[in-house]
Chains A and B, each alone.
Chain A
């Protein structure tokens, strides 16, 4: 019982405290981070079957070892100009908690950088940008020597209203 409780406590801590390992990747000239526990795997670019009548940022679906998973373009999602894919372009497969079960989604990023250990004190609250920029999916900003990394709550990025709209648009 006590073991269970401590395990539970740790799990709760892990979600509330932002300290931990992050996988960072680049988009345009910015660097972003996702909690490493969310990342299932990183795959190179592969042929994507586009799905008609879906929002711009839904690139389509790919075959991940026999499973069909949707792929989103994070550039399109963050309304950045799109660039042709290079050999550095990657698909990060993340596990998203939905109300029913966990689902796999691939996100296309410019390139994957590194895995960083980020401590709580390095993380700063997200500044307010006013209404211009929605930032409820930003966990915080990590100050590192190389610059600022934007830490994403990937669950929120991909299950926010736009994601819901995919279903409605169709």
Chain B
């Protein structure tokens, strides 16, 4: 197989040449022996022109080596030369192998691909189709009678007409290609092709005049960016297209998110076919659907990326970091493009994406695919060396031993020679042959339906409670009702749990963030996560994302030190960021911890005094000091990077978390690290509340706000100027709010001794609420009041009470501000 040798030589040559640096002409000397071999091969094959070119290249390299000035331009010339003869040799090789049916098949496959993705008006595509057909015609196949030749010729004829007459029908060629395929299959088996194919020929030789008139209609359906005349004028989208397009947008975004996550996995484990498949498939979907929707740019980019991955999938090469970077970049561009589609869709227009450039990306992807040379599964030894488990020497020793005892495994030898412990080998083997993780099958359901289910489940509980009351006198009946109650409760729990999703997706996005940022800042940072499977309400997940991004950014930018500083402090060079999620009580806790600088108390205090937040004389607990960084505009960062450090943020993070009834705590140790702890309620749908009565109405106070409830004694009540009311609680005076005044409930003011006082807190302010009665404590499903009542001040929402009526949930903060306004 001489040609194969030439092939591999060309590849080595191309690689070596790419590695060569213009500034160091010496690096070219490595090319000389390769060229010599290639030259000999060509000579033996009597390829005179190629041999001559190779000789010329050798002379050029010698010239560069002896005279390094202007090496850059010479290098370019050399590059051109090498490409030209590599190309012609490659061609030749293909032609040589192409004497059998396989070559025809390859061409036909390419051709059907081209035809399928053909977009009218794309001259390069037509060119490619024509070359392909020419090649088909040139391949000498045992073609007698020359049907194959005839059909191919007819196809070519038709395609030529496409260019000349602007015809937008590809159906005849598709038929033609199909016919060619079946002819070829028959020929391959040595059978006679006896079917009638005159209809296809007729199609191909169709009356072009009629097609031309048909073209006009077709044109009307075309996208503006494909017909130059209509360019710039966005086309309105019809209702049907709108639906398909918006489905595509949401699905594509989802797909791209999965891709991102899996790409990071792939980086850890570049040979895992399962992961590559997981990435490949969504790209394939995007490509397919976008092609169908004539979103050309998206289609092309997805296609190019898919090609790259396909190479990896079929084991042609191993994906490396560069390739992953490129794919990630392509994901970003795709997101931008698809986002544009979505945005324009809202306005009812087709996409306009002329300003987004995909060309550079396409070229880059192609280049990477070319440069990735063939490789196989990463050898176990390499993995072990990479993981610092063993040194190269012992691997080489082990390989030596393996040569003598070929049936022994490398791992076995290493363990026997005491060069590695079995655990390390096992983990390396796991990396080499990873186990596919089990994925549960899932169904997509609209959130509306889920909410409805929760609503009905809640109603069922109420109906069941009423039934129980009415049947309590009948033991047999109440037993059945109790059974029913159990089922209903289970059902409600399941309905509620359906709103929960694992926090994994959010955590995974952080991986990408850390990866990008660590590259940007030049810090080596390892992100470790625990509890990714912790489930959390989907609304909370969305709310968590932004604050987490912010805090991870802070940790990486301000927290983790540069490598040199870390060394000086005696820490490992690689910084660590930990993400943890777990349940605690009725809350979900999310921790973001780094082992970096830690917060500098002195600096924070200085800054706070400078900003006038504190006087500097206070005695402050550590936690209070750290809380200062949550004030608006607070930043101790000396320099503003493009990553973070503008002082807007931590206050936004705090208010974002508090909006969801959550809490943010900071713990830190100077030079050791900082830990942010977010605690959030498990779900936003359920609230722990105390049921109270004011007048005739029942209200719910969120338990989190309640500090205590007591009956005021005779000496606990004071007034200021007869109006401002206060109660005394353990020596503290607390302003009193009469809810009956605010809610215009009840008739007149009751004497204070007949009432109860509930002390509530919101944003560090305490007030005492005067209520009539405390009815109990329970969990309530929060419901929106709907329509325009959503923003009613002092009311956070409604909940269905056990008697089926609606109870209003109090918004403590809103009540405070109403009371202040008077």
Contact = CB atoms under 8 A, between A and B. Distances in A.
Q: Do A and B come from one complex?
A: yes
A104 B791 CA distance: 17
Contact of B785 (A61, A98, A164): A61
A21 to B, nearest CB: 25
A132 interface: no
B456 interface: yes
A103 B787 contact: yes
A49 B742 CA distance: 16
Interface stretch (B45-53, B496-504, B799-807): B799-807
Interface residues on A, range: 20 to 34
Contacts of A92: none
B807 A70 contact: no
Given A4-B240, A63-B804, A51 B787 contact: no
B808 interface: yes
A50 B458 contact: no
B789 A62 contact: no
Interface residues on B, range: 20 to 34
B744 interface: yes
Interface string B784-802: 1111111111110010100
Contacts of A163: 787-788
Contacts of B794: 52-53, 170
Interface string A40-83: 00000001011111100010111101111110000000000000
A3 to B, nearest CB: 11
A84 B808 CA distance: 24
Interface in B760-796: 783-795
B459 interface: yes
Given A63-B804, A66-B456, A68-B783, A51 B791 contact: no
B697 A49 contact: yes
A67 B783 contact: yes
B479 interface: no
A166 interface: yes
B512 to A, nearest CB: 32
Contacts of B697: 49-50
A96 interface: yes
A105 B790 CA distance: 13
B239 interface: yes
Contacts of A164: 788
B470 to A, nearest CB: 19
B239 A170 contact: no
B792 A49 contact: no
Given A52-B744, A52-B794, A53-B794, A68 B788 contact: no
A67 B788 contact: no
A93 to B, nearest CB: 11
Given A49-B697, A68-B798, A68-B800, A170 B791 contact: yes
Contacts of B788: 70, 163-164, 166-167
Contacts of A54: 789, 792
B804 to A, nearest CB: 6
Contacts of B459: 65-66
Contacts of A60: 806
B800 A51 contact: no
Nearest to B782: A68
A63 B787 contact: no
A146 to B, nearest CB: 33
Closest 3 CB pairs of A and B: A66-B455, A52-B743, A66-B459
Interface of A: 1, 4, 8, 47, 49-54, 58, 60-63, 65-70, 96, 98, 103-105, 163-164, 166-167, 170
